[in-house]
Every structure is written in structure tokens, then in C-alpha cells.
Structure 1
Amino acid sequence: MALYMQRIGVLVAVTLFSLVFFGTGLTGAQPVEARVAGQWQLIDEVSGAVCRLHLKAEEAGGAFPRDAFRADMTSCTSPVGGELPQLGWRVPPEGGIEFVLANGSVLAAFDVGESEGLASVAPAGAFLLLVPERAVALSALIPTAH
């Protein structure tokens, strides 16, 4: 009986060590779009204008690129002026977030910065921040951090 209990103890110790050292496989198991989907704020750093938007982890479909997801930005205006057309969002291979039109062209691109959100890198001359309303591991948007 003692030998049997010792074997069970070793098995439990190895299992616990494996879970701690190698992880459960559950952390970060969600696709990146599911980890960053939710309510965000788009902030114009020059004017101070703020709008809320909802990044959804649902494929945009239609004429959008296959890697684009739905974005509800009905209360926002375009960073280049005027009302926004129907938009999608995606995580490009180089990281960050891009807002894309149905034809695949990029309307605005954001990269992980030093703040609690994402800083715009396109269009030129726009100073925008994209800030999540709930805690989001922005490291999910950095390709080398996966």
C-alpha cells in the first residue's frame, strides 16, 4: 500500500509540475480576436473627441477580407472626416489593429504604444488612441508575444 501511495504522490507531483511549468494550454487559447473583442474608445488627442465602438469577434463577411471582423462604430466619425462607412477590423501580421473597408483598404491602423491603449500609425497626421474599456492583454496584439 505504501508503494502504491508513493506512486500516486509521484504522479500528482509530475502532473502539478507539468501544469505549472508548461501551462494548461488554456491561457491564451482563445484566438486573438476573441481576446480583444469588446467595447473600446476612440480618442482624438487633438480635439479631445471620444466615441465608443464595439469590436466583435464575428467575421465581417460579405466583400470584406476573410481576416476581417465586425466593428460597430455607428457613433464615431471618420479620422479623415465625415461619417464612417461600414467597417471591419483585423489584426495584421505585424501586430496592432487595422480598421478596413469592404474592399480591403486600410482606413486607420493602430500599434501597441507605451500607453494603456493603441496609438494610431495611419492615416498620417491623425493622432488617435484606441483604448479598451475593460482589461485587455495588449500583448496579444504583438506578434512576438504569442
Structure 2
Amino acid sequence: MMHLKITDEIRERCLREAAHEAHINDRIVTSTPQTLAERGMTMLGSTRATPRIRSYLYCDAVDACFYYAGAVPSVVVTARWTADSPDIAEGSKKPQIACEVVRRMMTAMDKAMKAEKDRQWAAYMEEQKLK
């Protein structure tokens, strides 16, 4: 199996493509899980050191953790709302915006990983020609 890692370039490309650079935390976190979504990531089989991107998805009490499970783009989302939360007040578009952020980021992460796999395959084929 090819060893794949998240690079700064891939992360930045995903954030630009998702058009949410200002909202999704743009630094990879590899420390002990701090948020509920990060803890969920570790409960679903990833390690504490799995590079991940945090986001609050424009909501007051919604937390997302974007990461790669192997080469598969993944996200864990947690939410906690009270009865008077502005996130779920009548007419609020926040949950829809959060879903759009997740969709865009996951699409960007998928495209970036496929491009990385293609790049690695091309490099491997080029290396084989030189032998």
C-alpha cells in the first residue's frame, strides 16, 4: 500500500477549493484530541497523532474534525444545542451552511487525495522507466 500523508500543499488546496479558508482552522493539529469531534475521530479508529483540521462550521455549538482515514476523506461532526440556541432558531440557515461547508471540504479533500495518488503513481512509473 502506498504511504500517503497530508501535506501543507494539499491542506491549503482543500481550504482554497472549499472557499472557507477564513473559517476552517488552517493548521493541522496532531496533539491530544481536544474537541468532541476529535475524540470521535480517535474512537472511530484513528490515532491521537492523525493530522486533522478543526472547524466550528459557522455554528455556536457544532464541531467538525476533518481528516484522512488512510486515504479516505473523513469528517466527524458533533453538536450540542439548547432550546434557545440561535443555530436552530426558526429561519436560521446555520445548519444548511454547516452542511455546505462539510460538502465542499470533503469534495476538496477527495480531489486532493486523488491528485496525490496520481502524482505518486506517475513518479513511480517514471522511476521504473529509468531502471
Under a length normalisation based on structure 2, what TM-score does the superposition of the two structures give? 0.36
- Please tell me whether Structure 1 or Structure 2 has the larger radius of gyration of its CA atoms: 1
Larger helix proportion of the pair: 2
Please, what TM-score do these two structures have when normalized by structure 1? 0.34
Q: Highest relative contact order (Cα 8 Å, sep 6+), 1 or 2?
A: 2
The structure richer in strand per residue is 1
